[in-house]
């Protein structure tokens, strides 16, 4: 029994630290019971990862059930609690989606911290078939049709080639305890609707439908990998946390690949692709919200894909700017460490990232701060204009503007660090106290 699962465990998990994702339900308890056998034979190290979502009144009791089982069998138990309904209300994502992201982040933490080499989940053949159908009905590419993989991204699915009926029989024969999630029967959830309404009817006419769907998913994965290997590398670049796709390459497969490079490996549907395709013919700065915190933006000759920054009041900040007599000083900002040092001749050309200025022209009350509405800037040897207009002229993408460090006095910007100083503090032949200002690019302040 469970021969396919045993073969996969022996292929991927022996002598590894395995975190079993256990909710207390039938499938995950079967997985835990099977992995315990390997633990007892000292073929792998085992711990249990449990998430208490806060979605159901009984979810805390389910976590306690798993905790008790682990205590009786000497298995380390790691639980993470969340208020998924509240998180969902803040982000606008559905509770299913929010819970998925929370679990994913939790599993990543376990692997990155070294507590586990992999996280084993109890997804089986029926789950995979449901996933493929869900993607198909929402509209997807080959990646969506590929469904789940046995191993990838640190997630191991030993039951993926095992049928649900075989898991139920294993539970029955070994008298393995489990709890029942009452929400599994609620067909308001898309996956549950497919599970209880769609697949049973398909199986009546096509008894081997689930196997056939999963086999087709394997073919789709192979085709997707083949096509991905033919994509031209020059189509992509990465800069400032974004993946850029050149306009001449904007097409479905390239869009899927750009999102994959950003770390988006699921929930990419036809509507997402269509939104990006429309951006190509819109003006620079036009954006499309692709869901799950991802934004695509037309940036002159490319489409940039990036993750939206969290919106909070602390994005606006300022730090007093007072120069010492030596002109050598440092300022710690929420963004970067800013250094000022006395400049030595020749003052030009400036070193990369640093700006030379006349320290005697710095007025009292100056601060280092973030960008604000209404800021004005007088470029070197130019006239006064709105800072926003200046940044547009410089073709600085909108997503990067809020991360700028400005030297300002009131609403007058005297320097845009890393870019340009204002004409009001520029050097002349009469300048005596010359300093350079720079931000330590790429090194976040602690």
**Three-state secondary-structure class, residue 345:** coil
Q: How far is CA 70 from CA 24, 65, 369, in A?
A: 11, 9, 52
Give the mean pLDDT of the chain. 87
pLDDT tens column, 207-239: 999 999 999 999 999 998 898 889 999 999 998
- Percent of the chain at pLDDT above 70? 92
Place of tokens 């005697």: 360
pLDDT-derived band at 362, boundaries 50, 70, 90: very high
DSSP states of 212-230: HHHHHHHHHHHHHHHHHTT
Q: Are 306 and 294 in contact (CB under 8 A)?
A: yes
Q: What angle do CA 165, 170, 174 make, to 5 degrees?
A: 150
pLDDT, tens only, 395-435 = 888 888 888 999 999 999 999 998 999 999 999 888 888 99
* Secondary element (H or E) of residue 4: helix 3-12
Beta strands 118-120; 155-156: pairing state:
parallel
User: Alpha-carbon Rg of the chain, whole angstroms?
Assistant: 28
Distance CA 405, CA 438 (A): 10
pLDDT at residue 439, as a whole number: 86
Question: In the chain, what are the domains?
Answer: 3-226 (3.40.50.620), 233-307 (3.30.465.60), 313-444 (no CATH)
C-beta of residue 87 within 8 angstroms of C-beta of residue 99: no
Yes or no: say if 327 and 340 are a contact pair by the CB < 8 Å rule.
yes
Pairing of strands 17-21, 45-52: parallel
- Please check the confidence at residue 200 and state whether its pLDDT lies above 70: yes
Q: What is the mean pLDDT of residues 193-209?
A: 93
What pLDDT is stored for residue 229 in this prediction?
87
Q: How far is CA 433 from CA 153, 357, 361, 420, in A?
A: 55, 9, 9, 19
Give 313's pLDDT tier (boundaries 50, 70, 90). Answer: very low
Distance, in Å, from the CA atom of 266 to the CA atom of 260, rounded to the nearest integer, reads 9
H/E segment holding residue 238: strand 236-239
Residue 310 has pLDDT above 70, yes or no: no
pLDDT tier at 343 (50, 70, 90 boundaries)? Answer: confident
Model pLDDT for residues 142-161, shown as the tens digit of each residue: 888 999 999 988 999 999 99
- Per residue in 271-282, pLDDT tens? 788 889 988 888
Q: Which backbone phi and psi does 198 adopt, to 5 degrees?
A: -90, -60
Distance CA 400, CA 437 (A): 20
Lowest mean pLDDT among 33-37, 38-42, 197-201, 344-348: 344-348
Rounded-to-integer distance, Cα 355 and Cα 25, Å: 61
Q: 0.85 cut: is pTM over it?
A: no
Sequence-distant (≥ 6) Cβ neighbours of residue 52 within 8 angstroms: 59, 60, 62, 63, 79, 80, 81, 82
What whole-number distance in Å separates Cα of residue 387 and Cα of residue 208?
64
């Amino acid at each position: 029994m469970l021969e396919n699962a045993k073969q996969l465990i022996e292929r991927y998990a022996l002598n590894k630290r395995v975190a079993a994702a256990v909710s207390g339900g039938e499938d995950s308890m079967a997985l835990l019971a099977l992995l315990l056998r390997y633990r007892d034979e000292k073929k792998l190290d085992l711990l249990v990862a449990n998430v208490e979502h806060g979605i159901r009144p009984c979810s805390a009791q389910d976590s306690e059930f798993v905790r008790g089982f682990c205590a009786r069998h000497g298995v380390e138990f790691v639980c993470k609690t969340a208020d998924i309904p509240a998180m969902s209300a803040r982000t606008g994502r559905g509770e299913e989606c929010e819970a998925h992201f929370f679990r994913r982040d939790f599993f990543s933490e376990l692997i990155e911290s070294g507590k586990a080499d992999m996280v084993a989940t109890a997804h089986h053949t029926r789950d995979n078939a449901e996933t493929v159908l869900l993607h198909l009905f929402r509209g997807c590419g080959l990646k969506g049709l590929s469904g789940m993989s046995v191993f990838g991204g640190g997630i191991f699915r030993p039951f993926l080639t095992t049928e649900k009926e075989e898991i139920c029989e294993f539970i029955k024969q070994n008298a393995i305890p489990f709890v029942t999630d009452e929400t599994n029967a609620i067909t308001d959830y898309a996956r549950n609707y497919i599970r209880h309404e769609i697949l049973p009817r398909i199986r009546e006419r096509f008894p081997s439908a689930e196997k056939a769907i999963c086999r087709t998913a394997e073919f789709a994965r192979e085709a997707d990998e083949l096509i991905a290997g033919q994509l031209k590398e020059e189509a992509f670049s990465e800069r400032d946390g974004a993946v850029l796709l050149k306009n001449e390459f904007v097409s479905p497969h390239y869009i899927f690949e750009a999102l994959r490079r950003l770390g988006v490996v699921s929930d990419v549907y036809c509507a997402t692709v269509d939104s990006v395709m429309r951006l190509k013919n819109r003006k620079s700065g036009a954006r499309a919200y692709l869901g799950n915190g991802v934004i695509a933006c037309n940036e002159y000759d490319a489409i940039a894909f990036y993750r939206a920054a969290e919106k909070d009041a602390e994005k606006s900040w300022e730090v007093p700017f007072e120069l010492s007599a030596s002109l050598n000083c440092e300022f710690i900002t929420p963004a970067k460490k800013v250094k000022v040092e006395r400049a030595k001749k020749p003052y030009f050309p400036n070193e990369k990232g640093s700006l030379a200025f006349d320290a005697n022209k710095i007025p009292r009350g100056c601060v280092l701060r973030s960008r604000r509405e209404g800021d004005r800037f007088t470029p070197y040897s130019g006239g006064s204009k709105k800072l926003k207009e200046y940044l547009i002229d410089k073709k600085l993408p909108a997503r990067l503007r809020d991360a700028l460090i400005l030297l300002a006095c009131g609403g007058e910007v005297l320097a845009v660090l890393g870019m340009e100083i204002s004409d009001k503090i520029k050097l002349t032949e009469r300048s005596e106290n010359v300093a350079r200002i720079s931000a330590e690019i790429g090194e976040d302040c602690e």
